Amino acid sequence: ETGVTQSPTHLIKTRGQQVTLRCSSQSGHNTVSWYQQALGQGPQFIFQYYREEENGRGNFPPRFSGLQFPNYSSELNVNALELDDSALYLCASSGDRGRGEQFFGPGTRLTVL
Amino acid sequence: KNQVEQSPQSLIILEGKNCTLQCNYTVSPFSNLRWYKQDTGRGPVSLTIMTFSENTKSNGRYTATLDADTKQSSLHITASQLSDSASYICVVSEMNNNDMRFGAGTRLTVKP
């Protein structure tokens, strides 16, 4: 176990809805990164939060947004869900702005119908 | 086009045998390269991290090599075990931002 937790484990939504996914980072870590992993593919970097500020973003539209709280836990929000948003969403916590080792959570499986 | 390419896409070996997985990348400037093991439906688990100045790193039966000149890395697994069955993912970080580029992974199956 990495000490990184994510909720919920599974989620089913319909097109156009909004979703919020949550991640609790490992104790002592101030950086959280979010990834989208489609079936059979490697994870794609969405964005990273360091000390409550966005600290890098991948090639995802603005309807993917995030938040990091003072305790370094984080949320990923996706608006106007599309079918292609169906994926495993992973968060990873680390120190040192992600330069060091990253510890991944178990992921949230999102299905958009 | 993905800047991290892994080969083979899948591999089946017998328990006890060795294998080598390949990773080629075009990410530049390069900060570090990581290998992860991911069991189905689980989050990836870190195996090795190498900076551009390192050319080999071991973690038990896993040995990663890096050639920063040719932009190639390999992960060698010795004396494979059934529990090694998983996807192995190569991840390359860019120097100037925190974008981590993941390969699509190699799916390894170890059979008894």
- Give the residue numbers in A contacting B (CB under 8 Å), as ranges: 2, 4, 33, 35, 40-45, 48, 55-56, 58, 88, 90, 92, 97-107, 109
Residue-wise pLDDT for A3-45, tens only, equals 899 999 999 999 999 999 999 998 888 999 999 999 888 899 8
Peptide bond into B44 cis (omega under 30): no
Q: Which amino acid is at A17?
A: Q
Contact A15, A111 (CB under 8 A): no
* pLDDT bracket for residue A82 (50, 70, 90): very high
Cβ of A109 and B41 within 8 Å?
A: yes
Two structure tokens written together for B29: 């400037």
Residue B1 pLDDT > 70, yes or no? no
Q: pLDDT tens across B60-99, in order?
A: 999 999 999 999 999 999 999 999 999 999 999 887 666 7
Each residue's pLDDT tens digit, B18-72: 999 999 999 888 888 999 999 988 889 999 999 888 999 999 999 999 999 999 9
